[in-house]
């Protein structure tokens, strides 16, 4: 409830979009439905209005502990161009983020 109130407050203060990072998917979906602004997710499930993933994460250039929401699209495609195309396709068909790329509370 607090996160939903914060999202509404941000919108009322003039936010044109809201970014949700590492928010449980059910809450992210509720916020997306309730707020009259585009909601972009990173690790917040597939039910937001859009997705963002840092290009280094998309290309598997992660050092140290890999965040749960990261997927190495380069490993599956074999080229940077292919990785970006695969990411775009996966976001459009809502296969990314999958359950394994979504934050758990």
Q: How far is CA 83 from CA 59, 60, 77, 86, in A?
A: 7, 10, 5, 5
Residue 79, preceding peptide bond in cis (omega within 30° of 0): no
**Active-site residue, selected from the candidate residues 2, 12, 21, 76:** 21
CB 71 within 8 A of CB 52: no
Active-site residue flag, 21: yes
Which of the residues are catalytic?
A: 21
């Amino acid at each position: 409830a607090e996160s939903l109130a914060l999202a509404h407050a941000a919108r009322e203060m003039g936010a044109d979009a809201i970014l949700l990072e590492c928010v449980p998917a059910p809450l992210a979906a509720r916020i997306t439905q309730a707020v009259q602004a585009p909601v972009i997710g990173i690790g917040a499930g597939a039910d937001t209005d859009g997705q963002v993933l840092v290009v280094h994460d998309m290309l598997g250039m992660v050092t140290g502990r890999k965040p749960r929401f990261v997927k190495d699209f380069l490993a599956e495609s074999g080229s940077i161009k292919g990785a970006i195309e695969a990411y775009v396709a996966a976001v459009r068909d809502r296969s990314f983020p999958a359950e394994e790329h979504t934050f758990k509370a």
